[in-house]
């Protein structure tokens, strides 16, 4: 999956959970430019960051990575 698509899934989960992206990134101790870097600089997220985000957003890492369209599968 492209980094832009992963960033979009993170944003979708933030909206679904009614939480601001800035809040999620702050709570997960991830740099505020994380999504921008993924979308515009084609930077890949580390496994650690994907796991932190999946835990915080109550979804599976497979969902964030585009391996499934169901956020709860493999959780």
Domain 3-64 maps to which CATH number in 1.10.260.40, 2.40.10.480, 3.65.10.10, 3.40.50.2300?
1.10.260.40
Radius of gyration of the chain (CA): 11
pTM for the full model?
A: 0.90
Q: What is the pLDDT of residues 43-70, one digit of tens each?
A: 999 999 999 999 999 999 999 999 998 8
User: Is residue 1 predicted with pLDDT exceeding 90?
Assistant: no
Largest Cα separation within the chain, whole Å, is 30
Length of the chain: 75
Q: DSSP alpha helices (H): ranges in the chain?
A: 3-16, 21-27, 34-40, 47-56, 61-64
Confidence at residue 3, expressed as pLDDT on a 0 to 100 scale: 92
Q: What is the pLDDT of residues 2-41, one digit of tens each?
A: 899 999 999 999 999 999 999 999 999 999 999 999 999 9
Q: List the domain boundaries for the chain.
A: 3-64
Confidence at residue 74, expressed as pLDDT on a 0 to 100 scale: 64
């Amino acid at each position: 999956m492209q980094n832009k698509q992963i960033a979009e899934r993170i944003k979708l989960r933030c909206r679904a959970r009614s939480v601001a992206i800035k809040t999620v990134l702050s709570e997960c101790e991830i740099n505020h430019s994380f999504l921008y870097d993924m979308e515009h600089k084609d930077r890949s997220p580390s496994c650690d960051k994907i796991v932190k985000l999946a835990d915080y957003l109550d979804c599976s890492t497979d969902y964030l990575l585009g391996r499934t369209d169901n956020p709860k599968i493999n959780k």
